[in-house]
Amino acid sequence: MAGLRIGILGSGKGSNCRAILERIRDDSLGAEVGVVIADVENAGILEIAKEFGVPAVYLPPGTFRTKLEPGAEHALVDALRGAGVELVVLAGYMRVLKSPMLDAFPHRIINIHPSLLPKFPGLEAWKQALAAGERVTGCTVHYVDAGIDSGGIIAQREVPILPNDTPPSLHARIQIAERELYPEVIAQFCR
Ligand code: GRF
């Protein structure tokens, strides 16, 4: 069943993208994926898109490390619009978006982050939570704004921190929660 048309952006292995595509295949969710776009040419997320028969596009990001060059960001807007995308879903996308994207898709870009925001924004949030001696962490789906992991919170899922947890064991448990939460939030958007 067709529905809200989403575009997924990623830079890495794409386990959240896979979870979303599987849930759409199995339960529809009221969504369809119009395109998957990566800023890394050999990102696993592009292979996953192809596996599911979804257009997979590599868009060169330009020379900056943490944001897109303006021309690249305009090309991203064009690619998403060209695919008819209504909701942009960031799934491990490692660049900060600026006004071309934020203006083109106001309140229509969401991200998933591996902590209970506003605690532990930024990189390797599970390590930050462990180092801070937290008993509970989790994941957050939030709107994307011009800051880093700072937009309005849409939904959260708690994950306990166990006494023997290491960064990899905690990260793995958070990612299981992410792969449940993100498709649920997308389904909510569709409703
Ligand atoms: C996710 O764990 C998410 O928390 C963060 O980036 C990671 C991407 O993983 N934003 P994957 O590419 O979806 O496997």
Instruction: State the pLDDT at residue 2.
Output: 74
Which residues form the pocket of ligand 1, taking CB atoms under 6 Å from any ligand atom? 10, 12-17, 45, 91-92, 112-114, 175, 178
List, for residues 123-182, the tens digit of each pLDDT value: 999 999 999 999 999 999 999 999 999 999 999 999 999 999 999 999 999 999 999 999
| Secondary structure (DSSP) of 3-22 | -EEEEEEESS--HHHHHHHH
Strands, sheet with 136-143, edge to edge from the N-terminal-most edge strand: 56-58, 31-38, 4-10, 87-90, 109-113, 136-143, 153-160
pTM of the model: 0.96
Instruction: Return the best residue to mutate from 112, 116, 181 for the ligand 1 pocket (most ligand atoms within 8 A of CB).
Output: 112
Domain extent listing, the chain:
4-190
pLDDT digits (tens, 9 = 90+) for 10-24: 999 999 999 999 999
Q: What is the largest CA-CA distance in the chain?
A: 49
CATH fold of 4-190: Rossmann fold (3.40.50)
CA 10–ligand 1 middle distance (angstroms)? 8
The preferred substitution site among 8, 9, 15, 179 for testing ligand 1, maximizing ligand atoms within 8 Å of CB, is 15
Q: Residue 1 pLDDT > 60, yes or no?
A: no
For residue 111, the CA-to-ligand 1 centroid distance in Å is: 9
pLDDT digits (tens, 9 = 90+) for 112-123: 999 999 999 999
CB 43, CB 11: distance < 8 Å: yes
For 15, 55, 107, 153, 185, the CA distances from 156, given in Å and listed in that order, are 18, 30, 18, 8, 10
Active site residues: 113
* 154, 141 Cβ separation under 8 angstroms: yes
> What's the 179 CA to ligand 1 centre distance in angstroms?
9
Which atom of ligand 1 is the closest one to the Cα of 175? 2
pLDDT at 9 over 80: yes
**155 DSSP β-pair partners:** 141
Ligand 1 atom nearest 45 alpha carbon: 12
Closest Cα to atom 8 of ligand 1 = 92
| DSSP type of residue 105 | S
CA of 175 to the centre of ligand 1 (A): 7
Q: Whose CA is nearest to atom 10 of ligand 1?
A: 92
Which DSSP category does 52 fall into? Answer: T
